[in-house]
């Protein structure tokens, strides 16, 4: 703090807070210390300012907005992490429940048919179940059906199977063997049980 402002000296009383805070130096400090030695009222005021300064330093500092923001952020992160853990446990629980149901179904239901059985269509129709090779053309399939007196009664299923009827009195085993021999057009043939 400078003592001369446009040639005027500041009064000693105004410099007391700077002396108490330890920020007063040089000739101003010497002048204030001299005033304290000669004026008991000035010394009492300096002592009061010192006590006030110590009391202010002893008070707890309020939390800054940044501290509140950090605390809020950490709380939100903890909440999100907890929600993530809960979702993972729910998914794991769902998977365990699905596995338990599948196991229960396998243990409770009697062993089923080992061959494929088409679920769609009229179960009373269809003497043969046939799968054509993936590259078979419509013309090739039509020729095969007409030359062997076969008729499509159902299909294609979701996996590409057709159910075929043969004319009355035809030998199913002979027709099935003939179709199995046509490997360039027929992928598989099965007879009803």
Tell me how many degrees the CA angle 123-126-132 measures, rounded to the nearest 5. 120
pLDDT at 92 (0 to 100): 78
Neighbours of 136 (CB within 10 A): 16
**Separation of alpha carbons 117 and 63, rounded Å:** 75
Q: Rounded to whole angstroms, what are the CA distances from 132 to 51, 120, 152?
A: 102, 18, 12
What is the C-alpha to C-alpha distance for residues 129 and 8, in angstroms, rounded to an integer? 117
Beta strands in 58-141 (DSSP E): 128-132
pLDDT of residue 118: 47
Residue with tokens 């243990």: 107
Q: What is the pLDDT along the chain (193 residues), one digit of tens a residue?
A: 444 444 445 788 888 888 888 888 888 888 888 988 988 888 888 888 888 888 888 888 766 667 777 788 888 888 888 888 888 888 877 777 777 777 766 666 555 544 545 455 444 556 788 888 888 888 888 888 888 888 888 878 888 888 888 877 777 888 888 888 888 888 888 887 6
Q: How far is CA 60 from the centre of its chain?
A: 43
Residue 6 carries which DSSP code?
Answer: T
The pLDDT of residue 176 = 85
pLDDT of residue 87: 82
pTM: 0.36
Write down the pLDDT at residue 7.
43
Q: Round the CA-based radius of gyration of the chain to a whole number and report it.
A: 50
> CA torsion sign, 177 to 183 to 184 to 185?
positive
Q: Domain 128-190 belongs to what architecture?
A: 2-Layer Sandwich (3.30)
């Amino acid at each position: 703090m400078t003592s001369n402002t446009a040639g005027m000296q500041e009064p000693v009383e105004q410099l007391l807070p700077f002396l108490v805070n330890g920020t007063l130096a040089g000739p101003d400090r010497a002048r204030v210390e001299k005033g304290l030695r000669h004026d008991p009222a000035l010394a009492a005021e300096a002592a009061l300012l010192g006590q006030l300064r110590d009391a202010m330093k002893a008070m707890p500092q309020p939390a800054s907005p940044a501290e509140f923001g950090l605390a809020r952020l950490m709380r939100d992160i903890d909440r999100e992490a907890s929600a993530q853990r809960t979702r993972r446990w729910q998914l794991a629980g769902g998977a365990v429940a699905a596995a338990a149901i599948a196991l229960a179904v396998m243990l409770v239901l009697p062993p089923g048919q080992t061959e494929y059985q088409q679920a769609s269509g009229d179960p009373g129709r269809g003497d043969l179940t046939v799968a054509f090779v993936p590259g078979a053309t419509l013309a090739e399939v039509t020729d095969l059906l007409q030359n062997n007196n076969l008729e499509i009664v159902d299909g294609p299923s979701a996996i590409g199977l057709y159910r075929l009827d043969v004319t009355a009195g035809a030998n199913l085993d002979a027709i099935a063997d003939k179709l199995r021999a046509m490997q360039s057009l027929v992928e598989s043939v099965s007879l009803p049980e």
